Structure 1
Amino acid sequence: MTRVRRLRQCGQSSVEYGVVCAALAFALGVGMVDDGSVLHELLQALRSAYQKFSFAISLPL
């Protein structure tokens, strides 16, 4: 395999990863009309987990 061909293939997986992530975000975000959507629930869970984490970190030793 030539060097030029190998260099051209280096970015292929990142493009595929980006397409899959965009499709997943679109699929989760389509139903984000109300508070019961999957994406809204996921964001609420992440927000709650981060608040609990930051509270635990801020406690004195």
Structure 2
Amino acid sequence: MKQARSRGQSSMEYTVICAAIAAALGLGMADRDSVLWQLVQAFRAGYQKITHAISVPD
């Protein structure tokens, strides 16, 4: 019976840890030099490159 009570515990721990990391990264998001802004810009640039490569005809 103890296994049934502990099911789902790890997902809650991952949620709390991810929320803490997001909060820690987001605290300094006011300026454009923060780690989170750099990550967002990197994702944006990568997405633009992928969409451009997909839209180019063969």
Q: TM-score, normalised by structure 2?
A: 0.89
Q: Which moved more, 1:5-14 or 1:43-52?
A: 5-14
- Alpha-carbon deviations, 1:2-21, whole Å to 9, x = none? 2xx22221200100100110
User: What CA distance in whole angstroms lies between the structure 2 residues aligned with 1:60 and 1:13?
Assistant: 46
Moved over 3 A (4+): none
Q: TM-score, normalised by structure 1?
A: 0.85
- Alpha-carbon deviations, 1:18-45, whole Å to 9, x = none? 0110010011000111111110111000
Aligned to 1:15: 12
Provide the identity percentage: 55
Q: Does 1:27 align with 2:35?
A: no
- 1:58 paired residue among 27, 37, 55: 55
C-alpha RMSD of matched pairs (Å):
1.0
- Name the aligned partner's letter for residue 16 of structure 2: V
User: What CA distance in whole angstroms lies between the structure 1 residues aligned with 2:45 and 2:5?
Assistant: 43
Tell me how far 1:57 sits from its aligned partner.
Answer: 1.3
Gaps of 5+ in 2: none
